[in-house]
Amino acid sequence: MKNLDVRLLVIPLVGAVLVSVLAIGGGHLSAPVHALSEEVADVVTVGEERQPVPMSEMLELAQEALRQTVLNVDDYTARLIKQEQDRGGVLQPPSEAFIKVLTRHPGGKPGGPLKVYMRFDSPANIQGREVIWVENENDGKLQVREAGMIGSMMTVPLEPDSFLAMRGQRYPITELGLTRLLEKLIQRGGVDREDPDVQVFKTEGHVFDGRERTLLQIERSQPSGREGDFSLAELVLDRQKNLVVRFRSFGWPESETDSPPIIESYEYRDLKINVGLTRDDFSTSNPDYTFAK
């Protein structure tokens, strides 16, 4: 009876501040969350040359990055810095989490289960929260260890697309990761391939996470009226590794003097690939984790 009382107490608390799960380096987090601008897009700095390119070139770069990701990326760790509007259009505060991901295509062979571990470092009210999701295990449910004294007393299972799990989120954890991000970008770009209201600009040598990358900016001159519409989308590619390391999209400003509001932003910093993650990395029994035993 005592265990039941604890569960009834913990679940509402989990729902109030539940896991940030998308869109989706190694080691422990030590740096504070990187502030994400709610309104300002990347600015091309002195020495960077911004050139117009056809949508087909942007799609070719994204398709090659996807091909190389499937072939060469079995697993990875990173600091995922995220800010997004939830499904109701409300912009959520930035969050930062250390993540471990085993892809659905280890060894270049699609069809494997996606495995995700997340440990949140910010914002402060969820610092220390841990989440594990393994596709086709645990009845498909998230395993959540909430922050705080009461939350840490038990591990709470939740459906990935349930009301509690989706509270304040744009996408479920099933959509997290580099591969799915590229797939969605290619799908969106295919729709806009022949749209005369869309222009694409490429900037080589754009600095992100301490290295020079390729910045692609997709600008729309007027609303399309389609779901997921944006005025500006930005994609940062690591051409050396053929990986996407950042994606941001912006909505339409309310007036000509306003900056476009952010819709979603996902940054993969300190990204390390093929680190040799094992089953223990996605187990609540891992002694390095704080899940209730």
Band the pLDDT of 21: cuts 50, 70, 90: very low
Convert the pLDDT of each residue in 86-134 to its tens digit. 888 889 999 999 999 999 999 999 999 999 999 999 998 889 999 999 9
Question: Mean pLDDT, to the nearest integer, of 268-285?
Answer: 97
Question: Mean pLDDT, to the nearest integer, of 154-161?
Answer: 90
3-state secondary structure of 89: coil
Q: Are 200 and 57 in contact (CB under 8 A)?
A: yes
Measured distance CA(41)–CA(133) in Å, rounded:
32
CB proximity list for 266: less than 8 A, separation 6 or greater: 22, 23, 24, 80, 81, 82, 84, 181, 246, 247, 248
Q: Are 123 and 33 in contact (CB under 8 A)?
A: yes
Amino acid 150: pLDDT? 63
Amino acid 89: pLDDT? 87
The strand pairing partners of 78, in sequence order, are 99
CATH class of the 2-282 domain in this structure: mainly beta
pTM here is 0.82
Amino acid 1: pLDDT? 43
Domain boundaries, the chain: 2-282
Amino acid 152: pLDDT? 63
As to burial, measured by CB atoms within 10 angstroms (0-12 exposed, 13-18 middle, 19+ buried), residue 281 is buried
Amino acid 151: pLDDT? 61
- Per cent of the chain over pLDDT 70 is 82
Q: Are 206 and 236 in contact (CB under 8 A)?
A: yes
The strand pairing partners of 115, in sequence order, are 102, 134
Convert the pLDDT of each residue in 207-260 to its tens digit. 999 999 999 999 999 988 888 789 999 999 999 999 999 999 999 998 888 889
> Would you say residue 7 has pLDDT above 60?
no
Amino acid 14: pLDDT? 38
Furthest C-alpha separation in the chain:
67
Amino acid residing at 234: E
Of 29-38, 141-150, 268-277, highest mean pLDDT: 268-277
Amino acid 226: pLDDT? 83
Amino acid 47: pLDDT? 55
Amino acid 149: pLDDT? 61
Measured distance CA(158)–CA(13) in Å, rounded:
13
Band the pLDDT of 293: cuts 50, 70, 90: low
> Would you say residue 81 has pLDDT above 70?
yes
Amino acid 9: pLDDT? 37
Amino acid 43: pLDDT? 55
- The chain-wide mean pLDDT, for the chain, equals 84
Amino acid 5: pLDDT? 41
Measured distance CA(150)–CA(173) in Å, rounded:
24
Band the pLDDT of 205: cuts 50, 70, 90: very high
Amino acid 110: pLDDT? 95
Strands 211-220 and 198-208: antiparallel
Band the pLDDT of 154: cuts 50, 70, 90: confident
> Would you say residue 39 has pLDDT above 60?
no
Q: Are 229 and 223 in contact (CB under 8 A)?
A: yes
